[in-house]
Amino acid sequence: MIKEFLHRIAFILTICLASIGFSSLSLAESILDKVIENKEINIGTREAAPPYAYIDAQGNWTGFSVEMSKAIVDVISKKVGVELNAKLNPVTPKTRIPLILNGTNHWNWGATGHSLKREAAVDFSYAVNAVCVKKLTAKSSGIKTMQDLSGKRVGVTKASVEERIINNMNASGEFNPPVKLQTFDKHASGFIALEQGKTDAHVTLDDTLIGIARKSPNPDKWEVTGPDFFCINQAMILPNNDSKWTDMVNGAFCYLVTTGEYDKTYNEWFAGNNPKAGFQKPQSENLRYLIKGQCPFKSETFLN
Residue 6 has pLDDT above 50, yes or no: no
Residue 7 has pLDDT above 70, yes or no: no
The pLDDT tens digits of the residues spanning 151-190 come to: 999 999 998 889 999 999 999 999 999 999 999 998 989 9
According to CATH, the topology of domain 31-129+234-301 is: D-Maltodextrin-Binding Protein; domain 2 (3.40.190)
**Spatial distance between the Cα atoms of 106 and 122, rounded to a whole number of angstroms:** 11
**Mean predicted lDDT score pLDDT of the chain:** 89
Any idea where the domains of the chain sit in the sequence?
A: 31-129+234-301, 132-232
Residue 8 has a pLDDT of 44
Query: HSE of 279 in the Cβ direction (CA atoms, 13 Å)?
Result: 16
Q: Considering the entire predicted model, what is its pTM?
A: 0.81
**Spatial distance between the Cα atoms of 21 and 38, rounded to a whole number of angstroms:** 25
User: 132-232, which class in CATH?
Assistant: alpha beta
**Identical fold between 31-129+234-301 and 132-232:** yes
**Spatial distance between the Cα atoms of 33 and 250, rounded to a whole number of angstroms:** 17
